[in-house]
């Protein structure tokens, strides 16, 4: 009989910022997202964009040497995660080149690691649009590669003012919205991983013993958002 890893029921999230900058607003937002995920029972792997940095994609270089170290690291960490959260800066109404470059490198891997992976996008910017246009650009390659990009996104406008000295989102209503988007995304990622209906059907028809570690829907009541 196959054995079940102890953490098989836990949903794993790769969380990273698309900025290389020291003191990045998006890195601060990514850290806040990681905290919310952990507070609601998710397992977080926090990465830095520098972990995935790679030379500009060159198909000749790929043919000669394969993927560079940063791309291999991105691939490795994608393959062991269930879902991805990216906080990305907006550069000239689009995504940072370093992030697109990393995606392009990893897209060469087969099986292609973005395929069917759930993804939540967020952004922070000093501007009034909060970097939101860049997220629409970022959706394009991710969806093209088969990622399940969550419909809701979160963009923090005037982020240099919106984050307080403690690094938290100062406005109660914005903080509630931020947490709700993440928790709702977690519900989807969790359901996708465990398929609660299928699981109960298996228990019913195959006589499996219920296992609370695997029977999904293990989201604490505090994490459930009314109306979703
Ligand atoms: C920017 N910035 C920016 N902001 C924005 O809201 N819309 C935009 O189109 C751009 N374009 C842009 C281009 C380039 C080349 C730079 C360097 C910056 C401002 C950017 O959002 C701001 O610097 C953020 O603070 C960058 O994110 P991090 O590094 O703080 O996470």
Q: What confidence tens digit (pLDDT) does each residue in 178-189 have?
A: 999 999 999 999
Confidence check: pLDDT of 2 > 50: no
Q: Which helix (H) or strand (E) holds 1?
A: none
Q: Is position 29 within any domain?
A: yes
Is the CB of residue 99 less than 8 Å from the CB of residue 164?
A: no
**Residue 13: predicted pLDDT:** 98
Q: Which region holds residue 167: left if phi is over 0, alpha if psi is between -120 and 50, else beta?
A: left
Its pTM stands at 0.86
Compute the distance from residue 110 Cα to the ligand 1 centre, in Å.
33
Residue 139 structural domain:
12-194
Give the integer Cα–Cα distance in Å for 193 and 216.
8
Give the pLDDT confidence of 155-178 residue by residue, as tens digits: 999 999 999 999 999 999 999 999
Distances (CA, A) of 63 to 110, 112, 159: 14, 17, 42
Q: Is position 137 within any domain?
A: yes
Give the integer Cα–Cα distance in Å for 38 and 17.
17
Q: Is position 228 within any domain?
A: no
Task: Work out which ligand 1 atom sits closest to the CA atom of 20.
Answer: 29
Residue of 89, 128, 136, 162 with the most ligand 1 atoms within 8 Å of its CB, for mutation:
89
**Residue 135: predicted pLDDT:** 98
Confidence check: pLDDT of 199 > 80: no
Distances (CA, A) of 185 to 9, 97, 117, 123, 127: 17, 26, 12, 16, 26
**Residue 214: predicted pLDDT:** 61
Pocket of ligand 1 (CB under 6 A): 19, 21, 24-26, 89-93, 125-127, 129, 131
Q: Is position 111 within any domain?
A: yes
Confidence check: pLDDT of 32 > 80: yes
Give backbone dihedrals phi and psi of 146, rounded to 5 degrees, phi first.
95, 5
| Helix, coil or strand: residue 83 | strand
Confidence check: pLDDT of 223 > 60: no
**Residue 3: predicted pLDDT:** 42
**Residue 194: predicted pLDDT:** 82
Q: Is position 83 within any domain?
A: yes
**Residue 83: predicted pLDDT:** 98
Give the pLDDT confidence of 34-68 residue by residue, as tens digits: 999 999 999 999 999 999 999 999 999 999 999 99
**Span of 32-41, 69-78, 149-158, 210-219 with lowest mean pLDDT:** 210-219
**At 120, which CATH number?**
3.40.50.360
**Residue 206: predicted pLDDT:** 53
Residues near 207 by beta carbon (within 8 Å), at least 6 away in sequence:
none
Compute the distance from residue 182 Cα to the ligand 1 centre, in Å.
23
**Residue 9: predicted pLDDT:** 83
Is the CB of residue 81 less than 8 Å from the CB of residue 45?
A: yes
Q: Is position 220 within any domain?
A: no
Work out how many domains the chain is built from and give that number. 1
């Amino acid at each position: 009989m196959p054995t079940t890893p102890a953490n098989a029921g836990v949903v794993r999230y790769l969380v990273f910022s698309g900025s290389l900058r020291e003191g990045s607003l998006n890195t601060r937002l990514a850290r806040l997202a990681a905290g919310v995920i952990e507070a609601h029972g998710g397992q977080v792997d926090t990465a830095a964009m520098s972990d995935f940095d790679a030379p500009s994609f060159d198909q000749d270089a790929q043919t000669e040497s394969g993927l560079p170290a940063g791309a291999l690291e991105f691939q490795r960490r994608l393959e062991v995660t269930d879902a991805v959260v990216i906080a990305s800066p907006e550069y000239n109404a689009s995504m940072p080149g370093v992030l697109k470059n990393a995606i392009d490198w990893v897209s060469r891997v087969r099986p292609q690691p973005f395929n069917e992976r759930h993804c939540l996008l967020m952004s922070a910017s000093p501007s009034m649009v909060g970097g939101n246009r860049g997220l629409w650009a970022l959706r394009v390659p991710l969806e093209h590669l088969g990622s399940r990009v969550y419909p809701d996104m979160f963009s923090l406008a005037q982020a240099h003012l919106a984050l307080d000295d403690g690094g938290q989102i100062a406005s109660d209503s914005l903080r509630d919205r931020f947490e709700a988007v993440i928790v709702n995304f977690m519900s989807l990622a969790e359901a996708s991983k465990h398929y609660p209906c299928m699981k109960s059907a298996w228990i019913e028809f195959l006589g499996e013993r219920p296992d609370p570690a695997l029977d999904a829907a293990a989201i604490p009541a505090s994490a459930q958002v009314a109306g979703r």
